[in-house]
């Protein structure tokens, strides 16, 4: 028996400001830091010893993991993977969601946010929010950096990394991944065999560990959020 724990980063500055964040590197709010610490306390209360830690390249996920590890008093070195980054929102990056609803209509914005294969227009490479202009991504091959992504695109890059670097470690290790709403949706789609409509509707709360238990042949046995008061929107049930 082993565990995979998925944690969406705590509330970020742009979460609070209702902006499309994507690959932009924004930090946690004070509330987000509290959410991250609470995640650590919840995991600690279950006495699950984490063997391997992963996070995306992004500050909000890395700092969430840092705070969790402080609570767990872990000195294990974390592994960072850009493939676990949030979905790239193209030209929507940095724009306010409420303002875009007024401009484009609520249904159109919902389609951009949650449809399976709809991509927003690509972000211009001269835009300061483009990943090629952000120091964090300087070591990533330029041809692998997206200008925009759909949820489908995000699923494909996350899943490729998961199958290559994580899946084969689950049988003998407890693993924690600190990532983002859409990269965690991608993992949930694969692990829980969700269809495209289900994954598009899936809500991932910030700072609430989703614990997935595997049996001896690496099949999902059961799963639950540790903070049950904030898991009401989960669409798959045991």
Catalytic residues: 9, 86
Tokens representing residue 42 in the block: 């919840």
Rg (the chain; Cα; Å): 17
With a CB cutoff of 8 Å and minimum separation 6, the contacts of 56 are 62, 80, 81, 82, 84, 85, 86, 178, 179, 180, 183
| 119 DSSP assignment | P
Structure tokens at 182: 């859409």
Tokens of 69: 């590890």
**In this structure, what are the phi and psi dihedrals at residue 176, rounded to the nearest 5 degrees?**
-120, 130
- CA 161, CA 176: separation in Å to the nearest integer? 15
CB-CB neighbours of 49 under 10 Å: 10
DSSP of 174-199? -EEEEE-HHHHHHHHHHHTT--HHHH
Give how far Cα 8 sits from Cα of 20, 118, 135, 172, 210, Å. 16, 23, 23, 24, 9
Instruction: Give one word for 96, left, alpha or beta, with left for phi > 0 and alpha for psi -120 to 50.
Output: beta
């Amino acid at each position: 028996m082993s565990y995979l724990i998925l944690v969406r980063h705590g509330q970020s500055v742009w979460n609070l400001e209702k902006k499309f964040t994507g690959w932009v590197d924004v930090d946690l709010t004070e509330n987000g830091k509290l959410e991250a610490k609470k995640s650590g306390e919840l995991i600690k209360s279950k006495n699950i010893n984490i063997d391997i830690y992963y996070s995306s390249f992004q500050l909000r996920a890395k700092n969430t993991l840092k705070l969790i590890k402080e609570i767990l008093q872990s000195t294990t070195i974390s592994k960072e993977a850009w493939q676990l980054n949030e979905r790239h929102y193209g030209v929507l990056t940095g724009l306010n969601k409420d303002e875009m609803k007024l401009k484009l209509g609520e249904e159109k914005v919902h389609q951009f946010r949650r449809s399976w294969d709809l991509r927003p227009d690509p972000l211009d490479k001269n835009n300061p929010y483009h990943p090629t202009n952000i120091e964090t991504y300087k070591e990533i091959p330029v041809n692998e950096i997206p200008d925009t992504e759909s949820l489908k695109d995000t699923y494909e890059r996350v899943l490729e990394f998961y199958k290559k670097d994580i899946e084969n470690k689950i049988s003998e290790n407890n693993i924690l991944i600190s990532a983002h709403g859409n990269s965690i949706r991608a993992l949930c789609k694969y692990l829980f065999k969700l269809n495209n409509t289900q994954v598009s509707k899936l809500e991932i709360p910030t700072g609430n560990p989703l614990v997935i238990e595997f049996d001896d042949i690496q099949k999902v046995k059961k799963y639950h959020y540790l903070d049950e008061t904030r898991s009401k929107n989960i669409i798959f049930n045991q």
